[in-house]
């Protein structure tokens, strides 16, 4: 097991090296960050001074080596713009994104799993057909459009038309509380209200994915002998579906959700922009626009580590869900 | 004879598919006495497994038991029983053992979970009590170190062990009847022998009746008290094991017996029954075996009845005695 984790971390390190080199070269080719930062009227001397102060006067490979050297010592550089350490900037924004994605995953699971299992149990019912058609909309509608529509309906139209209908907040983050030094809005009523629309926007796609996956797996598991044997044992239908079928369905759901979670955290940019959610995605977008290289590089480094850790967690979850996986790890 | 544990009369289980009605079981009658082992023999598609599942009320759509069928367990009509009552009977009064032990235990649940839930599905007992019963059942089927085994997952067991666990689960509630659907087919021969011996001993000891569904005449010859041979959804011959094996009356039974390899057939070509089972969707009129039968006559174009040609030995053939 330990060997396995170490191997994973080494892979992560390799990906980080390749990634940082690519980003370095990429941003170098796009343009000159200095031009974005100082006024166009500035003299060449001023320009060179800024360039030298940021270390941008050196050749690219030297800049890269300097970065690697600092990064190995835990320093990922300072934002060209804010002057704050890049990592600190990102970590400040991270809880907002994490709680948004977490909340949307919870919604997606709570709605998608029962619907998918139902559609798998009664594939020919009208309800199942409605769910399956709906799920196609769920993952084919573009995210930004869904977000805008939700704002239209729940923050504008319905409250305008129906007196007393709560006007759901459509932008920004609500009140936060400090939990172990991290500011979270999950635990305040106002925070949850603010979370609702952006989380729903993200949850739609995830939920649709879960519905289809749960249905397909349920259809696969139901004709299995062990389900028929469970019936022959005289178990109640609730027990058969809730334990025998569901536990087998959870295995693929865990994998896909793990990947989806990482994907959303890294690239919830669009939803965050639509709802002016102060998360990491918006930071990344702003940093790319302003060619703020240290932030972009640091961001991608974090994402790489995040994905590796997430995959590791999914693997561990696997062994909880599927005893056949557990045996192999015990043998080593 | 005492009152039978199970009495099946005119059982018809049909599958209503787009292509037509498949009459998987079409008019089957038999009784099983307390403690008796009935061997239900037939090739694939003969309806023997569907008969087993019908008894447990486990026929999935598009199949269903047709009106007019009767399955009585100690006098109680099962075809008209409510789903809740059937659930209460399954696992408690009628238990089933499946063909492939690799597939019958849920791979993601521990053996104790799968046993305890069976106990608690029928009895309001504590977890500890249910566990104790499960442990006793494992001991009964000859599993060593049951405590350790209870905490294991199915994949940590061999095929034979899994089948023993499945049998232990079937025995948990001391059922009146066990339907065993080819339980030894997927096992190797030595394990097969052990399981057969075990099954026989358990029936004798507890007075449990058993229906042993198989395609292997050799297996039931040494196990069953009586044998019923099925062909295309009907019983074509039924009688005491010795009678059926030594003096078969139906040409199909003869064909089956003739195709079992034995020491006498060494060096000779094995006999086989020509042709294939007819499609259940379009069974020919009359005897469904006539197209493969070596002694078929004009009369076979009308369906013969199951007739008691010798005491306790019935056959569905016009030429039963002639053959």
Whole-number Å distance between alpha carbons of A212 and A120: 9
Residue A330's pLDDT band (boundaries 50, 70, 90)? Answer: very low
On whether both B168 and B311 belong to a single domain, the answer is: no
Are A317 and A254 within 8 A, CB to CB? Answer: yes
Q: What is the pLDDT of residues A76-93, one digit of tens each?
A: 888 877 778 888 888 888
Q: Is A226 within 8 Å of B58 when comparing Cβ atoms?
A: no
How far apart, in Å, are the Cα atoms of B214 and each of B39, B132, B279?
Answer: 7, 33, 20
- Residue B308 inside a domain? The answer is yes
pLDDT over 50 at A331, yes or no:
no
Whole-number Å distance between alpha carbons of B70 and B31: 12
Residue A200's pLDDT band (boundaries 50, 70, 90)? Answer: very high
pLDDT computed for residue A101 by the predictor: 92
pLDDT computed for residue A85 by the predictor: 87
| Domain definitions of chain A by residue range | 2-72, 93-326
How far apart, in Å, are the Cα atoms of B286 and each of A325, B210, B233?
Answer: 55, 32, 13
pLDDT computed for residue A158 by the predictor: 87
Residue A71's pLDDT band (boundaries 50, 70, 90)? Answer: confident
Last residue of a domain, one of B145, B172, B199: B172
Report the pLDDT averaged over residues B218-227.
Answer: 86
Low-confidence winner among A19-23, A32-36, A206-210, A217-221 (lowest mean pLDDT): A32-36
φ/ψ of B76, rounded to 5, equals -85, 125
pLDDT computed for residue A259 by the predictor: 83
- Residue B98 inside a domain? The answer is no
pLDDT computed for residue B2 by the predictor: 66
Last residue of a domain, one of B117, B140, B172: B172
- Residue B254 inside a domain? The answer is yes
CATH label of the domain that carries residue B81: 3.40.50.300
Across the interface, which of B90, B100, B122 has its CB nearest the CB of A225?
B100
The more confidently predicted of residues B112 and B204 is B112
pLDDT computed for residue A103 by the predictor: 92
Whole-number Å distance between alpha carbons of A183 and A284: 20
Last residue of a domain, one of B123, B142, B172: B172
pLDDT over 80 at B282, yes or no:
no
pLDDT computed for residue A170 by the predictor: 80
Report the pLDDT averaged over residues B19-28.
Answer: 86
Task: Give the per-residue SS3 of A8-62.
Answer: HHHHHHHHHHHHHHHHHHHHHHHCCHHHHHCCCCCCHHHHHHHHHHHCCCCCHHH
pLDDT over 70 at B322, yes or no:
no
- Residue B225 inside a domain? The answer is yes
pLDDT computed for residue B310 by the predictor: 85
% chain A with pLDDT above 90: 20
Are B286 and B302 within 8 A, CB to CB? Answer: yes
User: Does the reported pTM lie above 0.90?
Assistant: no
* CA of residue A288 relative to chain centroid, distance: 19
% chain B with pLDDT above 70: 97
Check CB contact of B95 with chain A, cutoff 8 Å.
yes
Enumerate the residues of chain A whose CB falls inside 8 A of the CB of residue B121. 233-236, 239
Peptide bond into A304 cis (omega under 30): no
Check CB contact of B52 with chain A, cutoff 8 Å.
no
Are B169 and B118 within 8 A, CB to CB? Answer: yes
Check CB contact of B105 with chain A, cutoff 8 Å.
yes
Q: What is the pLDDT of residues B117-174, one digit of tens each?
A: 999 988 888 999 999 989 988 888 888 888 888 888 888 888 888 888 888 898 888 8
Residues whose CB is less than 8 angstroms from the CB of residue A156 and which lie 6 or more positions away in sequence, other chains included:
none
On whether both B157 and B224 belong to a single domain, the answer is: no
Whole-number Å distance between alpha carbons of A50 and A39: 12
What is the sign, positive or negative, of the torsion defined by CA atoms of B243, B245, B247, B250?
Answer: positive
pLDDT computed for residue A203 by the predictor: 92
On whether both B216 and B306 belong to a single domain, the answer is: yes
Check CB contact of B118 with chain A, cutoff 8 Å.
yes
Residue B79: give the domain boundaries. 6-93+175-262+271-315
pLDDT computed for residue A332 by the predictor: 37
Q: What is the mean pLDDT of chain B?
A: 85
Q: Which residues pair with B13 in a beta bridge?
A: B25, B65
Enumerate the residues of chain A whose CB falls inside 8 A of the CB of residue B104. 225-226, 229
On whether both B165 and B182 belong to a single domain, the answer is: no
CATH code assigned to A93-326: 1.10.3720.10
pLDDT computed for residue A329 by the predictor: 46
Q: What is the pLDDT of residues B294-307, one digit of tens each?
A: 887 888 888 888 88
Q: Is B87 within 8 Å of A236 when comparing Cβ atoms?
A: yes
On whether both B114 and B163 belong to a single domain, the answer is: yes
Check CB contact of B265 with chain A, cutoff 8 Å.
no
% chain A with pLDDT above 70: 97
Report the pLDDT averaged over residues B295-322.
Answer: 82
The more confidently predicted of residues B321 and B144 is B144
- ipTM tops 0.95: no
- How many distinct structural domains can be found in chain B? 2
Enumerate the residues of chain A whose CB falls inside 8 A of the CB of residue B88. 234
- Residue B320 inside a domain? The answer is no
Across the interface, which of B103, B105, B155 has its CB nearest the CB of A327?
B155
On whether both B167 and B220 belong to a single domain, the answer is: no
pLDDT over 80 at B260, yes or no:
no
On whether both B195 and B294 belong to a single domain, the answer is: yes
Residue B265's pLDDT band (boundaries 50, 70, 90)? Answer: low
């Amino acid at each position: 097991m330990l060997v396995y984790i170490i191997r994973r971390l080494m892979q992560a390190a390799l990906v980080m090296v390749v990634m940082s080199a690519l980003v370095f070269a990429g941003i170098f080719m796009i343009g000159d960050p200095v031009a974005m930062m100082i006024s166009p009227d500035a003299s060449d001397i001023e320009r060179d001074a800024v360039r030298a102060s940021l270390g941008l006067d050196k050749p690219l490979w030297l800049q890269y080596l300097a970065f690697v050297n600092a990064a190995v010592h835990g320093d990922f550089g300072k934002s060209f713009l804010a002057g704050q350490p890049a990592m600190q900037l990102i970590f400040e924004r991270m809880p907002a994104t994490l709680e948004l994605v977490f909340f949307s995953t919870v919604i997606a699971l709570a709605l998608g799993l029962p619907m998918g299992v139902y559609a798998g149990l009664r594939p020919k019912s009208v309800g199942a057909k409605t769910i399956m058609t709906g799920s196609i909309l769920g993952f084919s509608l573009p995210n930004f459009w869904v977000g805008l529509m939700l704002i239209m309906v729940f923050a504008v139209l319905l409250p305008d038309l129906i007196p007393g209908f709560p006007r759901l907040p459509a932008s920004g983050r609500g009140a936060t509380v400090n939990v172990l030094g991290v500011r979270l809005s999950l635990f305040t009523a106002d925070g949850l209200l603010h979370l609702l629309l952006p989380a729903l926007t993200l949850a739609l796609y995830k939920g649709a994915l879960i519905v289809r996956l749960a249905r397909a797996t349920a259809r696969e598991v139901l004709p299995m002998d062990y389900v028929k044997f469970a019936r022959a044992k005289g178990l109640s239908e609730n027990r058969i579906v809730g334990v025998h079928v569901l536990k087998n369905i959870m295995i693929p759901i865990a994998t896909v959700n793990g990947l989806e979670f990482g994907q959303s955290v890294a690239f919830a940019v669009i939803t965050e922009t639509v709802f002016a959610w102060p998360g990491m995605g918006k930071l990344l977008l702003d940093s790319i626009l302003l060619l703020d290289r240290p932030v972009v590089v640091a961001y991608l480094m974090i994402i790489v580590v995040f994905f590796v850790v997430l995959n590791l967690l999914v693997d561990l979850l696997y062994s909880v869900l599927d005893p056949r996986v557990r045996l192999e790890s015990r043998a080593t | 004879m005492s009152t039978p544990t199970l009495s099946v009369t005119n059982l018809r289980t049909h599958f209503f598919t787009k292509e037509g009605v498949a009459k998987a079981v079409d008019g089957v009658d038999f009784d099983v006495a307390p403690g008796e082992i009935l061997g239900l023999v037939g090739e694939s598609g003969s309806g023997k497994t569907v008969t087993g599942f019908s008894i447990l009320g486990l026929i999935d759509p598009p199949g269903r038991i047709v009106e007019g069928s009767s399955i009585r367990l100690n006098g109680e009509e099962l075809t008209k029983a409510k789903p809740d009552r059937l659930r209460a009977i399954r696992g408690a009064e009628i238990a089933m053992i499946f063909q492939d032990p690799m597939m019958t235990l849920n791979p993601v649940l521990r053996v104790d979970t799968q046993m305890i839930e069976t106990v608690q599905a029928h009895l309001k007992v504590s977890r500890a009590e249910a566990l104790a019963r499960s442990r006793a059942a494992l001991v009964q089927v000859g599993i060593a170190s049951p405590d350790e085994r209870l905490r294991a997952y199915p994949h940590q067991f061999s095929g034979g062990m899994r089948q023993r666990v499945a049998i232990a689960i079937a025995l948990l509630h001391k059922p009146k009847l066990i339907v065993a659907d080819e339980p030894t087919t997927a096992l190797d021969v030595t394990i097969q022998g052990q399981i057969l011996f075990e099954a026989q001993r358990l029936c004798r000891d507890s007075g449990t009746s058993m229906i042993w569904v198989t395609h292997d005449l050799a297996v039931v010859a040494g196990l069953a008290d009586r044998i019923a041979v099925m062909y295309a959804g009907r019983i074509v011959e039924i009688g005491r094991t010795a009678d059926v094996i030594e003096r078969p009356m139906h040409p199909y039974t003869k064909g089956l017996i003739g195709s079992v390899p034995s020491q006498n057939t060494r060096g000779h070509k094995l006999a086989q029954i020509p042709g294939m089972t007819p499609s259940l969707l379009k069974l020919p009129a009359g005897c469904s075996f006539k197209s493969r039968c070596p002694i078929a006559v004009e009369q076979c174009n009308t369906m013969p009845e199951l007739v008691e040609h010798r005491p306790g030995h019935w056959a569905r053939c016009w030429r039963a005695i002639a053959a």
